[in-house]
Structure 1
């Protein structure tokens, strides 16, 4: 938010030096990112901090000092055509110092015969900005002849003075500009550039910043609510309003301004808008922007006569504004002349013929203000900020209005903005305002009364304040207060939507008291001894294992959307959790961060989608929480600690020695899980087929000691498409870290190395197709006894000599005794025992030959 000092002074008495005010604002939570000095010299403390020389005229950020003895308010005494150039003008300028000067200009807004115009006049030796340079560059004005006539100064454009990028014409100042006054005194300004944090949308206006300055400094605030008196017919004679979807539009107000004239805005309004980085268009359009920056209330102006023509086309004489959701597939042409296809989530401002604007985002081409507009319907409304944010992103239509709407604008501001806008249109457009406003207000704004005590302040802030001191601070912030015993009940002013709990009130007290005034207090006791945290140690150990396996840890938001979860159920949408099965934020910061996640897989896939734009291979994991309301205690949800893994891309990206371009698949992920379990002493694991909605046929459940610890598999192609992932295998795992904790806590039993050689024995078995290899391995390990120290599957075969419905599994068995060298007779005995059990329990046959 850019806030010119001159504009702030209209509403608050500011006596502090600029650098002190900047510091106080920053310490109070308003992040002043930059201070721009436009035409004026920065204070001495700022010049020292920036290491500026005493005569330095460049103030930074494309601005210069307008030297008080060289750049003045001047007046054109006369102007005539240059005798030697058709496109140049000779002008005589009086700047209040002796004889008028002759200048030569090609500005298109100065014609032969013009006189009396006030201009920004630079004398010889002035430092200006070169308007034709590709980058910021200054130039010193020198005397020179142009087509045989000497020019003794310059009438400046805005770009030459660093006000804006405009340099096609010279600045024409108002008629009351004092001739001979230093331009820095008349037009110089200081602009505070303030970063607006999500909880500070109230300062997205000049009056919002002025309120903060008044509260922080104790200065008087002058921001009366606008009013008007008129004898004109009531606005209700011109239009009706109906809000159909009050979950998306809380209030809609409108008034009518008749007999207006479209023309350029006055200099003061244009100049203020330019200081904010806005381009003036016409008085009516500029007024809607001006009110938005002044009060923080976006407005929209419709050409009422066009609305009335549309009403008459269906036999109606009165305009009716209807606020509703768009029909699926409905089409609408916006102000930028783009036809857009709408869906049911888009809020539309309509009449009885059809849409005339996208609520809070952009108006329609058919009812826009034009040079022929004479009657205006001025809209001021409040919308669901999440919906506005989603719509603005959907259509890629960011704007200052959408920025404010998407962060929350109080409904109580609607009539204020409407009245202020109508006032200015009547003043600057010569119009007549209809009596009153028309509105529909189905969901009135309510404010919360919040308790706070002096004990709360001392406990949480570490400062001892009396009740009277607390009340005084809150009243500086325009809070209403009432005292009951030790409790102060505080109600925030209507423009503070961010105050809902005691902590919010405490923050306000701390800001105004001054964070820098809170004393530093040392701990008065020793720190308690740290308790052993097995969960934390497990997670640290998992990080070591997984990063050692080549994975990267990600830390994702725990907030997502219901729609992102629904993408995990491509074939069974009825199984997807509904909105009431989530913990939903009352005041989300973003439309993409609305509910607490129920699965880490959602976060993993969102992360893949973002990062695969920048690299071809990703292997990531996350240790985090999911939130399951129905398994909670009725008040708080159950929090489950989970581990997710996601892998996609080439197995080995390679280098100068080459690599493995084959994509990572199900077995790569299985290998990572096996390494992890082995390092945790949680094995051996067994696997069984699993049916997860987000996986294809390659999906398995991991079991340790017969207990499921999670699932993993290859992502379903339709899930991959829903998340806009590349057309190649993506494998994911979702594991329960709490289930791993008992294995991590158990002691590791070390077995001494044997002095006797190991003996290897290969065995090939024919088993039914549906018997998992993991089950076969588990039976082998259970039967082999302590002498069997390793089992490895090295071959899987189907085909010739193997009956249909069967498969061949070949294992390498390693036997070793701690007390002797094993003989062939010993290993044969183990072999017979293993084959016998496999034959009895799963019908396995020894494959010969």
Structure 2
């Protein structure tokens, strides 16, 4: 009987009281349950548990109440009081008479077998050394064979691996026997009718979901397991009209869907009081497709809980025969001889896994003999064949989680006991962790950028189609690679550049502050390769925006401009100088950067990366402020290959003075200043050359320009004379004229 508690007293006006001026009235020789004062009952009106308190009804003291199944928590019936069988013992607590042992299990996702009574029974048998008695399946058959009664085919065997069915004629639909209702209620399921209750009970018993159709509603007695057609609809048992797609697997008759495979049945073929002929289905469906269908429709049923974890196909006919026998027992009827079994790709033999003593020793650190291992597996229901140094283990039908040798090792030690595993030292020393040169270079670059005033950010390696379109890199000719199973539309493509994420973060920060902003990220980008996996390139990229010196009351607002190409170039030069990488700067083109303000950085013929100012159209798409935004992106693999082979050597500071000459050179307009600087530095006495002026216009021939350089000449062992300096400059001018057509405009 329910026990008392400290809840608030029950309001008798809200309960379905059955006491009048005297004791409760029951038919003669009928027995019921009597909760006394203090019992904890369910109030159907307030829909909560409350404590029964004493009360006076029509002047009579009430010390108890006769209740319905709902109020006692034994069922859903609230139409009248519960009436117990005539042999119910008087005065005995209700929990002793109707109570049962209920196991509340907390399972890991891989232990699908323990969602069934037989699966738990095998675990208990392994612990106690007992034997599992599976239900005996016997039933009478008569009439035409089932193959003549119904036609079943599988149009898409990739989504339905096996489909079995029987036909039962002359069933009588009604309430289930009390024992069946009690079993379902205690397992948390609501009894519906005898046929439907059997399918639910067998699912709890064997773990195999089943479904019963009214065969008279199945057009042409034909069942086709297929993908749904475009625009098809199905009203499911919950009364919801559902739009189907070609990704959904349906059970259909000759014309229309009658069920959603492995998820829920259709209202057009449900079992009702009028049903006399039942088509009973037991099938095996694709786990992934079942999960996707259930998720897309927001349907989480007991069937999907099992199918989405991957049931074994050999389970289908076993559960089918068990359910057929029970339906005949509780609902009567005659069973058509045989059963239909459509199995497009049956395996040649049951699945087996080989377990070796070597793997047992290697995994557990202890010696486990084959006899001991076989004994443990026998207790769990595995069948074993012995070889000299291994066991060939046949996996039973209820275990879908055992697929490799290590799974068997776990099963063996579960039975033996984890406490038996000894504590042993590792067989070999832990390997010394040696960082690769690439990782070292990446970490050093990050440290150097932070020391240079930049801030590191970390973005997801996945991007949306909309983000790639904003950066201008979702070109149909070379699209970014889309992952096969994106979790959301915002994480759909592998990023081909770091700049998309950097500009997104920059835009978010600009909306909350004035800067300056100096952001960088080091990570992988994924460059598409035709017919292959993407090229994963380690990259470092950065963006700079805002005023170069920030906002200060000490500075004139107009004295310091926004950061531009040369700020980004300076950051890159800082990195290159750190590792003594000689690089050239050439006019380049890149979809992220503005034409004419983009440079490609090269070391010899190797492209190290790009530096430039962000294209105005891209700035507009990211809603960036109107000020300048510069950026860079470098390939760490190219930087690694450009590192000097020899280490740096120390050179003493010069002891002798520097001689300086200013040279203004006239040369063709298409000659880069970097090329001229390179030629100047080839002279053995010239230590440094600085470009300080560029001019074109009046007093110069069309197609020419003037470049002015500070040239610093110095010798390590002596002070240069004017004659040596002049001779060196003359030789330099002759070399420039020969190489790039330069002439001297002026000299200082």
TM-score for the superposition, normalised by structure 1: 0.62
Task: Show the 5 A alignment for 1:184-223.
Answer: 184-185=95-96, 186-187=98-99, 189-197=101-109, 199-223=110-134
Q: Given the alignment of the two structures, is residue 442 of structure 1 paired with residue 352 of structure 2, yes or no? A: no
Structure 2 residue aligned with 1:425? 327
- Give 3-state SS (helix, strand or coil) of 1:460's partner: helix
Structure 1 residue aligned with 2:18? 90
1:455 to 1:840, Cα distance in 2 relative to 1, 3 A: same
Q: Is the 8 A contact 2:480 2:528 kept in 1?
A: no
Cα distance per residue 1:487-535 (max 9 Å; x no partner): 3222212333343332232232222222232111134665565545435
Q: Is the 8 A contact 2:167 2:278 kept in 1?
A: yes
1:304 to 198, 201, 215: 215
C-alpha distance in 2 between matches for 1:599 and 1:400? 35
Cα distance per residue 1:642-696 (max 9 Å; x no partner): 43689999999xxxx9xxxxxx99999999988877777667586886899x999
Task: Show the 5 A alignment for 1:502-541.
Answer: 502-523=405-426, 527=430, 529-531=432-434, 533-538=436-441, 540-541=443-444
Q: Is the 8 A contact 1:247 1:384 kept in 2?
A: yes
2:605 to 689, 706, 712: 706
1:207 to 1:643, Cα distance in 2 relative to 1, 3 A: farther
Cα distance per residue 1:48-73 (max 9 Å; x no partner): xxxxxxxxxxxxxxxxxx54999xxx
2:163 to 246, 252, 255: 252
1:461 to 1:169, Cα distance in 2 relative to 1, 3 A: farther
1:67 to 1:356, Cα distance in 2 relative to 1, 3 A: closer
Cα distance per residue 1:198-238 (max 9 Å; x no partner): x3333332322222232244332222464433224322222
Cα distance per residue 1:69-95 (max 9 Å; x no partner): 99xxxxxxxxxxxxx9999543499xx
- Give 3-state SS (helix, strand or coil) of 1:194's partner: coil
Q: Given the alignment of the two structures, is residue 488 of structure 1 paired with residue 488 of structure 2, yes or no? A: no
Q: Is the 8 A contact 2:140 2:334 kept in 1?
A: no
Task: Show the 5 A alignment for 1:650-665.
Answer: none
1:441 positional shift: 0.6
C-alpha distance in 1 between matches for 2:334 and 2:209? 22
C-alpha distance in 1 between matches for 2:223 and 2:704? 72
Task: Show the 5 A alignment for 1:229-308.
Answer: 229-307=140-218
2:225 to 299, 323, 339: 323
C-alpha distance in 2 between matches for 1:225 and 1:417? 12
Q: Is the 8 A contact 1:780 1:834 kept in 2?
A: no
Q: Given the alignment of the two structures, is residue 571 of structure 1 paired with residue 480 of structure 2, yes or no? A: no
C-alpha distance in 2 between matches for 1:271 and 1:671? 80
Q: What CA RMSD, in Å, does the superposition of the two structures yield over aligned residues?
A: 6.3
Q: Is the 8 A contact 1:554 1:621 kept in 2?
A: no
Q: Given the alignment of the two structures, is residue 408 of structure 1 paired with residue 310 of structure 2, yes or no? A: yes
Q: Is the 8 A contact 2:312 2:397 kept in 1?
A: yes
C-alpha distance in 2 between matches for 1:272 and 1:666? 77
Gaps of at least 5 residues in structure 1 are 1-38, 40-65, 71-83, 94-100, 104-111, 312-317, 558-567, 580-590, 632-637, 658-663, 721-725
Q: Which has the higher strand share?
A: 1
Cα distance per residue 1:303-362 (max 9 Å; x no partner): 21111xxx3xxxxxx422112233344444444444444443332322221322332233
Structure 1 residue aligned with 2:362? 459
C-alpha distance in 2 between matches for 1:157 and 1:255? 38
Q: Is the 8 A contact 2:199 2:210 kept in 1?
A: yes
Relative to structure 2, which stretch is displaced further, 835-844 or 242-251? 835-844
Q: Is the 8 A contact 1:647 1:732 kept in 2?
A: yes
C-alpha distance in 2 between matches for 1:335 and 1:183? 36
The number of residue pairs the alignment matches comes to 681
1:767 positional shift: 9.9
Gaps of at least 5 residues in structure 2 are 7-11, 463-472, 513-518, 553-562, 625-630
Relative to structure 2, which stretch is displaced further, 403-412 or 122-131? 122-131
Q: Given the alignment of the two structures, is residue 141 of structure 1 paired with residue 52 of structure 2, yes or no? A: yes
2:36 to 114, 123, 130: 123
Q: Is the 8 A contact 2:114 2:120 kept in 1?
A: yes
C-alpha distance in 2 between matches for 1:430 and 1:760? 114
